Amino acid sequence: MSETQLIFQLSHPGRSATSQAPKALSDDKLSAIPAHLRRKQKPALPEVSEMQVVRHYTNLSSKNFAIDKQFYPLGSCTMKYNPRGANRAAMLPGFLNRHPLAPESHSQGFLSCMFELQNFLKEVTGMKGVSLAPMAGAQGEFAGVAMIRAYHEARGDEARTEILIPEAAHGTNPATAVMCGYKVREVPVGKDGDVDLEALKEACGPQTAGLMMTNPSTCGVFERQIEAISKAVHEAGGLLYYDGANLNAILGKVRPGDMGFDVIHMNLHKTFATPHGGGGPGAGPVGVSERLLPYLPTPMAGQRDDGSYHWVDSDTLDTSIGHLSAFMGNAGVLLRAYFYARSLGREGMIRVGEFSTLAANYLLKRLEAVGCTAAYPDRRASHEFILTFAKEAKELGVTAMDIAKRLLDYNQHAPTTYFPLLVPECFLIEPTETESKEALDEFVDAMAAILEEARSEPDMVKEAPFTQPVRRLDDVKAARELDLTWTD
Amino acid sequence: MPYIPHTPDDVRAMLDAIGADSIEDLFDEIPAHLKAAGKLDALPEGLSEMDVTRLMNERAAMDAGAVSFIGAGAYQHHIPAAVWEIATRGEFYTAYTPYQAEASQGTLQVIYEFQTLMTRLTAMDVSNASVYDGASGLAEAVLMSLRANRKSKSRKVLVPAALNPRYTSATQAIVENQDVALETVPFCQEKGQTLVDSLKPHEGEDFAALVISQPNYFGSLEEVDALTDWAHANGMLVIAVVNPTAMALITPPGEWGAEGADIVVGEGQPLGVPLSSGGPYFGFMCCKQKYVRQMPGRIIGRTVDMEGKQGFTLTLQAREQHIRRSKATSNICTNQGLAMTAATIYTSLLGPDGLTNVAAHSHANTQALADKLTAIDGVERAFVAPTFHEVVLTLPKPADQVLVALAEKDVLGGVSLANDYGMANAILVNATEVHSEQDLQLFEQALKEVLA
Ligand SMILES: Cc1ncc(COP(=O)(O)O)c(C=O)c1O
């Protein structure tokens, strides 16, 4: 594929997509703006025709892998099919044109969807209250830990300065704890992928504000000691935070609320099939147990006795941790999740956990059979699992990164690599419930072929990919000779 | 089974390969008494696409039909059809964050172009790939200013009262956890501007930064040069909060005062993103080159591949949570990529003249609207400062009552300033290029009737 020029290189002075903007106004219409506040030079935006723009970005889009094109088994990211119907429904004019500050009289349709979505999420997670406000998983984590802090502060319990986090945790967990003003203490994970319970018990104390964990964990296994962990943290006076990135594995099967979690976030851009958009947007609603209800972020949707809907805001819930954005969250994402929840219904929710787990366990067994090494061979996979290529790296010099890049040549998106950090040379693989058996089998065939290549022509694998718009990129140069904007 | 492809034969074959008798067996590591069986009963039955669509059509239709003059941080603009037709192509819509650079050159180049567009609009050096929205972006900017301002030991930032109160409250909610305090600078009651005089009490005090909003919440244009120079003279960084449409007409923050603003954030929604009840929008964030290592969020760099060919990749990742964990500049991971993609397409389509015309028409329409409404008895402009595309009007009756009465006529007449500013009779109104002369007359007529 040829190099695509930048939009700026297509620019010609005086060209424009004239039908997209109103006509120029005479300067006297702008006389109310004092001259010294006026921009002196027009911004150097591209001057291009409408078709040039359409062609340019359409061509750029073709340089992406995407779920709509490829198997995309990124562990921890739940790259499942994003129903097109959800997109169309969220883009209905009544939803698209509704101003976030429109009065309740003109918001009943939208509010009803949000109110119902809150209730669905409560039901599937077993929590007592849900706020849809957080804009992504990490903001949900922030809301959750800020609520933990508000809870301790309301009780005058000021000595709690630490959040416990298993070492396998996602990077957003420790980063969030720090954003909420806490110190982070890492808890080791045992050889079987479960948390080291003794170490955890030792780490718990009067300084413990809470524990953040994912279950199934980022090791791709269900944390079997969850009840003992919950007991240890609660007895120390801490609260239990559930990172819901892996909710897909247990949707309809086990509920975080029943496992003893006090606060959770969900990633609707994972579990509820909203698209990831090449980096976002997401939505990271939070759910809480009884004792954290007063602190939920606002606004939320409420219902009056007469059936009408209203906003619950910080003026009525003055213990709330407040607003996390200017308005109510990523509404358009929430509408897509609402569509998904309505189309799955009760039975469909249960099937998500079942079939994502079936797919992962099948894929794991088949990959083991073609010579891949499981990181936790004695454990059931949850909806995802870890392979390690430590042996290949040592014996053949072919790393997880090399294999990941070679997969692209087989038209398979690479799994998550080098996460969690505690398993060397690892892949975290999450096939999701929406991939057919044939798609899984093709991935197995690709992996088998690459393992063979790693033995027969390791130098070739180390130079992959060969079929993409670019070969491997010079990341060192990118960081050393920063080029972050185009200069004409 | 919605979205699940497996036939009974597939399931059998897969279970055989696993060596399990049933799907339920795969959950045998979960303590039996924790299982959720029967606990989802309150969920409704699943519906077909046709049925959910019908239901959501009905809901959406309930909220449609009014003419709106609400701005207050989210603005109606014409969005070219091409913007979302391209942004929702599966290749953009269903891709993940571009971790595998070779298979994500489309998204990566879009971000690089976006970074360039934003720096050109704001006259700044560098931009990131977006944060959640303008308000949370300000919180990030405040935290960033504490890291970037090496001369200051303060954990305090000066924030104008004339800043969008939703930005102040979200920023407060986010930064207070790290013991960062926001101190309010009052605005001039006559002008509706933040005056250097009101900063004087803080002369010589240690603050990490001064926030300047252009325009401010009231739509007023601030005297940004004087404010910027005052902040710099007092050892503070300047955090600019700007409207991107206004940038086509108004001095960009990179050119404020002698040295320009240090960090710029804002709500990107006006650049091709629909109102959509408040999101997804995107926050943009730019800064001076020397602060780039303190910036949160993803940043894309241009580099070459092993054959010397141009390519794009995530760079300076040592700022981010997946590398630095508890020492990262922020916890942000997923951002607002698709809205950023739409904004890139929008800005390219409009170009310098198109965006200038949109800004000019928005300004002129708002002036025309204010002229019409202030011709009504008892309706006046609250402030004398020049405005961009929003104005505060005082009414002869309580704003909250008037807005309800207008809404009954399907005119959404702006937002009340009663709660946020104790200005019981004041409303903030906005018009843009989408409002026709007829729309303006409709508002005028409705307000006349309501006030009669
Ligand atoms: C385990 C885990 N936690 C948290 C997150 C953060 O979610 P988000 O990217 O939506 O902020 C992710 C997603 O990448 C994740 O995989």
pLDDT digit string, tens, across residues B218-262: 999 999 999 999 999 999 999 999 999 999 999 999 999 999 999
> Ligand 1 within 6 A of A140 CB?
no
pLDDT of residue A1: 45
- CB atoms near residue A240 (< 10 Å): 25
Question: Which residue in the set B66, B73, B110 is minimally distant from A106, CB to CB?
Answer: B66
Instruction: Identify whether residues A294 and A435 lie together within a single domain.
Output: no
- CB atoms near residue B201 (< 10 Å): 9
Give CA separation, B359 vs A11, A97, B353, B369, B447, in Å: 21, 20, 10, 15, 26
DSSP state of A166: E
Which of A 286-325 lie inside 8 A of B, CB atoms?
A: 297, 314-315, 321-325
Structure tokens at B21: 């008798």
Is A12 contained in some domain?
Answer: yes
CB of A260 within 8 Å of a chain B CB? The answer is no
Instruction: Identify whether residues A215 and A358 lie together within a single domain.
Output: no
Residues of B in Cβ contact (< 8 Å) with A79: 94, 96
Which of B 174-233 lie inside 8 A of A, CB atoms?
A: 174, 177-179, 221, 223-225
Q: Round to whole Å and give the CA distance between A208 and A162.
A: 5
A307: exposed, middle or buried (Cβ count in 10 Å: 0-12, 13-18, 19+): exposed
> Ligand 1 within 6 A of A406 CB?
no
Is A480 contained in some domain?
Answer: no
CA dihedral A295, A301, A304, A307 (to 10 degrees): -150
pLDDT of residue B373: 98
Cβ <8 Å between A40 and B251: yes
Instruction: Identify whether residues A101 and A158 lie together within a single domain.
Output: yes
Is A484 contained in some domain?
Answer: no
> Ligand 1 within 6 A of A170 CB?
yes
Residue of B nearest to A277 (CA): B93
pLDDT of residue B39: 83
- Nearest Cα neighbor of B137 from B324, B236, B245, B283 is B283
Residue of A nearest to B163 (CA): A326
Residue of B nearest to A82 (CA): B94
Q: Round to whole Å and give the CA distance between A382 and A222.
A: 6
Instruction: Identify whether residues A307 and A362 lie together within a single domain.
Output: no
Give CA separation, B24 vs A467, B30, B46, B130, in Å: 41, 10, 22, 43
The residue whose CA has the least distance to atom 5 of ligand 1 is: A137
The residue whose CA has the least distance to atom 7 of ligand 1 is: A137
Give CA separation, B409 vs A312, B406, B442, B444, in Å: 25, 5, 10, 12
pLDDT of residue B36: 82
Instruction: Identify whether residues A368 and A419 lie together within a single domain.
Output: yes
CB of A74 within 8 Å of a chain B CB? The answer is yes
Is A450 contained in some domain?
Answer: yes
Task: Cite the beta strand spans of B282-436 per DSSP E.
Answer: 283-287, 299-304, 310-315, 380-381, 390-394, 411-412, 415-416, 426-430
The residue-averaged pLDDT of B18-39 equals 93
Cβ <8 Å between B93 and A87: yes
CATH topology of domain B81-344: Aspartate Aminotransferase; domain 2 (3.40.640)
Instruction: Identify whether residues A311 and A367 lie together within a single domain.
Output: no
What backbone phi and psi angles, to 5 degrees, belong to B157? -135, 140
Structure tokens at A154: 């309301």
Question: Which residue in the set B100, B331, B355 is minimally distant from A408, CB to CB?
Answer: B100
Per-residue pLDDT of chain A (488 residues; tens, 9 = 90+): 456 899 999 999 999 888 999 999 999 999 999 999 999 999 999 999 999 999 999 999 999 999 999 999 999 999 999 999 999 999 999 999 999 999 999 999 999 999 999 999 999 999 999 999 999 999 999 999 999 999 999 999 999 999 999 999 999 999 999 999 999 999 999 999 999 999 999 999 999 999 999 999 999 999 999 999 999 999 999 999 999 999 999 999 999 999 999 999 999 999 999 999 999 999 999 999 999 999 999 999 999 999 999 999 988 999 999 999 999 999 999 999 999 999 999 999 999 999 999 999 999 999 999 999 999 999 999 999 999 999 999 999 999 999 999 999 999 999 999 999 999 999 999 999 999 999 999 999 999 999 999 999 999 999 999 999 999 999 999 999 999 999 99
| CB A128, CB A281: distance < 8 Å | no
| CB B336, CB B130: distance < 8 Å | yes
CB of A427 within 8 Å of a chain B CB? The answer is no
Is A474 contained in some domain?
Answer: no
Q: Round to whole Å and give the CA distance between A428 and A419.
A: 7
The residue whose CA has the least distance to atom 14 of ligand 1 is: A77
Among B63, B288, B357, which would you mutate to test the A interface (most chain A Cβ atoms within 10 Å of its Cβ)?
B63
The atom of ligand 1 lying closest to the CA of A282 is 10
Q: Round to whole Å and give the CA distance between A80 and A352.
A: 10
Beta-carbon contacts of B382 under 8 Å, excluding residues fewer than 6 positions away, are: B192, B218, B391, B392, B393, B394, B423, B426
Q: b/e for A386-398, b at 16 or more Cβ within 10 A? A: bbbbeebbeebeb
| CB A251, CB A58: distance < 8 Å | no
Question: What proportions of chain A, in percent to the nearest 5, are helix, strand and coil?
Answer: 40, 10, 45
- In total, the C-beta contacts within 8 angstroms joining chain A to chain B are 698
CB of A181 within 8 Å of a chain B CB? The answer is yes
Instruction: Identify whether residues A169 and A305 lie together within a single domain.
Output: yes
Residue of B nearest to A488 (CA): B116
- Nearest Cα neighbor of B101 from A6, A460, A473, A412 is A473
- Structural domain for A333, as ranges: 85-343
Instruction: Identify whether residues A366 and A444 lie together within a single domain.
Output: yes
Task: Give pTM, 2 decimals.
Answer: 0.98
The string of DSSP letters for A221-278 reads S--TTHHHHHHHHHHTT-EEEEEETTGGGTTTTB-TTTTT-SEEEE-TTTTT----TT
Cβ <8 Å between B225 and A36: yes
Cβ <8 Å between A478 and B301: yes
Instruction: Identify whether residues A411 and A332 lie together within a single domain.
Output: no
Is A222 contained in some domain?
Answer: yes
Residue of A nearest to B167 (CA): A326
Please determine, for residue B315, whether its predicted confidence score (pLDDT) is greater than 60.
yes
Instruction: Identify whether residues A119 and A206 lie together within a single domain.
Output: yes
Domain count along chain A: 3
CB of A143 within 8 Å of a chain B CB? The answer is no
Mean pLDDT, chain B, integer: 97
pLDDT of residue A150: 98
Query: Among A343, A362, A396, where does a domain finish?
Result: A343
CB of B54 within 8 Å of a chain A CB? The answer is no
pLDDT of residue B38: 77
Q: Say yes or no: do domains B67-78+352-451 and B81-344 share a fold.
A: no
CB of B299 within 8 Å of a chain A CB? The answer is yes
CB of A176 within 8 Å of a chain B CB? The answer is yes
Instruction: Identify whether residues A456 and A418 lie together within a single domain.
Output: yes
Tell me the pairing of strands A426-429 and A385-388: antiparallel
CB of B437 within 8 Å of a chain A CB? The answer is no
The residue whose CA has the least distance to atom 15 of ligand 1 is: A245
Instruction: Identify whether residues A55 and A169 lie together within a single domain.
Output: no
**What separation in Å is there between the alpha carbon of A75 and the centre of ligand 1?**
11
Q: Round to whole Å and give the CA distance between B150 and A403.
A: 44
Cβ <8 Å between A33 and B336: no
The CATH number assigned to the domain holding A166 equals 3.40.640.10
Length of chain A: 488
Instruction: Select from A142, A172, A176 the residue to mutate for testing ligand 1; criterion: most ligand atoms less than 8 Å from CB.
Output: A172
Is A314 contained in some domain?
Answer: yes
Is A73 contained in some domain?
Answer: no
CATH topology of domain B67-78+352-451: Aspartate Aminotransferase, domain 1 (3.90.1150)
Q: Domain-by-domain residue ranges, chain B?
A: 67-78+352-451, 81-344
CB of B159 within 8 Å of a chain A CB? The answer is no
> Ligand 1 within 6 A of A76 CB?
yes
What backbone phi and psi angles, to 5 degrees, belong to A219? -90, 0
Among A18, A30, A81, A97, which would you mutate to test the B interface (most chain B Cβ atoms within 10 Å of its Cβ)?
A97
